[in-house]
Structure formats: structure tokens, C-alpha cells
Structure 1
């Protein structure tokens, strides 16, 4: 099985006075990022590789979430993820090495939400229902695929096995 885990960056500071790319996390975003990392580790979701947008808020989200793993998975920063459309994100996924079975992507909306819609054929009914309501900051979507190489993945072939938000987990950080 291949597993794609999508983590939307945690709550960031308002855009002024810095540009969007350089925005840091707000205090509640820092809490959420750390908590979502703990949730992943507690669920046994340990990425073999991480690909992360180069934006400051995604880098900080991963830095805080990664503290839940020992050792932290190797991360690659890829600016194509910043403000990317679902199709671009899918291309990044398809480029991953075949020895990666669990891939974590840390990115931005609306691309992350659109990628789930592009890839998920179905899922647990309560998970799909929660996903369809909102994809808030620091939310995590877990997509499971048959064991085919990343390059061979096709649209509408994933099972949405989990979707969690900080609020859903009782983390004061959404």
C-alpha cells in the first residue's frame, strides 16, 4: 500500500507587513502544528519522506510537527508546492522514489483540498463528510492507494482513510 498524507500549514500571522511567502505561524498555529505531529506519530503514520513548500509557514509547520518523530523523516523543500494547483501537486507526488511508501506533503489550500478531491474515489463515510465541510489550517488528510509506483498513480484511485483537524482532536490551534 502507498499512503499520501497531506498536512495543510498551521494558522499563520496576518500578511502585513511581510509578504505572503515569509509569513510565520501565529502562536495558535505553533500549538496546532506540534499537536498534529503528535497525532500522526500516535497513529503510527511515520513518513518515509516529506516534501514541503518552501514558504516560511509550511517550513515552521513541519519543523514543529517533526518533533514527534525520532528520528525525523528526511524533508525536501519544493517551491512548486507554494500556491500550486492540484495537478502540480499530483506531479510532485508522482515524482517520488519507489522506496517511499508513506509520503507526507506539507502545503497550502486550496491546492491541498483540490488534490484530495482529484485523487479520492471514496472513503469512510464519516471521514468524507468531515472533509467536505472544511479543510482548515493544520488539517490532515490521509489517502491510501494500492501498492503501485507513485509514477503510476491515477486520479480517483485513492481511499480517504482519515481526515482530522486540530478542533476535531481538541487542540486549541485551528
Structure 2
């Protein structure tokens, strides 16, 4: 009998967006966001994280964030632009993760707050060192990245199922 595989969920909040008169879904990245997104990609690459699948909200700011992160990664994962991530509740995000094929080891999810922070916080049944406190103190700022591991099937992703093993933010 083989051991359950260890999987990773990388939760990324989109980079800093402009506040403008356009519809919220259409808001582009601000200059600071265009600077921070590639830095987040370099952090992922430096941490040795090579996701197999990217689930990205269809909002302009999340798609732009991902577009700027990808060139920094050692390989481009399959990317799925997912309408359900825009304004998704915690339960909706977990349901989406439960649909991921078990052939996928690591997923990066590029989304929005409050969902991104809620997901990382809810899944973190355990955390290395003071990572959970640091993440929660920070409020999960734009371009923040939380890395969680868990064992088992994607269908088993639920509250407390993971371990927070890394948290990074560009200005923290």
C-alpha cells in the first residue's frame, strides 16, 4: 500500500490594482502591482514551487498578475481562468479545489480577498513557526503568497486539512 501523496496549494492574492471608474471586474493593475507581481513569481521559483495547475480568477487584475508571474517560473503550468473565483466565498473556493484531478500535485490559485486570506487561514490546521500569526497580522496584502501542504485527495481539502509552510508578501 502506498502512502498518500503530499500536495501543495499556493494561494496568491492579486497584485495592487488601480481604483478607477471601471467595473470592479475590469480594474487593471496599478504601477505598484506591475512591479510586485513578477517579484512574487520570482519568490515562488526561488522557493522551488512548480505548480502543475493554475486556477486564476477572470478579473483583469488577477489575469494580469498571473501573466506577470509566469515568466519568472521554471515552467508554465496549465492555466484555467475560472469565473467562479471572482467574488467567491470560502466554501465556493474549497468546492473548486475539490474538483481538481488527483493527477495534479500542486495548484496555484490566484484570487481576491477576502477569499484568498479566508482560504489560507481556514485550511491551516497547523503552521510552521509563527507563520499563521504573521499571515493574519498582515491582513494578506496584495501580491501575498501562502503555501499550504496536505496529504490525500483533492476531494479531502477542507477546514484544517493543511499545514501553512510559507507566507510571503512583497512589502512585509
**TM above 0.5:** yes
Distance 1:87 1:76 in 2: 19
Q: Alpha-carbon deviations, 1:124-145, whole Å to 9, x = none?
A: 1321121111210000011110
**What secondary structure sits across from 2:104 in the alignment?**
coil
TM-score, normalising length from structure 1?
0.92
Query: What is the number of equivalent residue pairs in this alignment?
Result: 166
Match of 2:142 in 1: 137
Alignment match of 2:164 (pick from 141, 160, 167): 160
Distance 1:70 1:156 in 2: 30
**What secondary structure sits across from 1:72 in the alignment?**
coil
State the 1:70 CA deviation. 3.9
**What secondary structure sits across from 1:112 in the alignment?**
helix
State the 1:154 CA deviation. 2.8
Runs of 4+ with >2 A deviation: none
Distance 2:43 2:146 in 1: 12
RMSD of the TM alignment (CA)? 1.0
Alignment match of 1:76 (pick from 68, 75, 80): 80
Q: Alpha-carbon deviations, 1:9-49, whole Å to 9, x = none?
A: 000000x2211000100011011100000010111101000
Is 1:8 aligned to residue 13 of structure 2?
yes
Distance 2:74 2:160 in 1: 33
Q: Alpha-carbon deviations, 1:40-86, whole Å to 9, x = none?
A: 01111010000000000000000000011243111001111001111
Distance 1:67 1:130 in 2: 28
Alignment gaps of 5+ in structure 2: 1-5
TM-score, normalising length from structure 2?
0.93
Is 1:34 aligned to residue 62 of structure 2?
no
Distance 1:132 1:118 in 2: 11
Verify the 8 A CA contact 2:94 2:158 in the aligned structure 1: no
Alignment match of 2:106 (pick from 96, 99, 102): 102
State the 1:153 CA deviation. 2.3
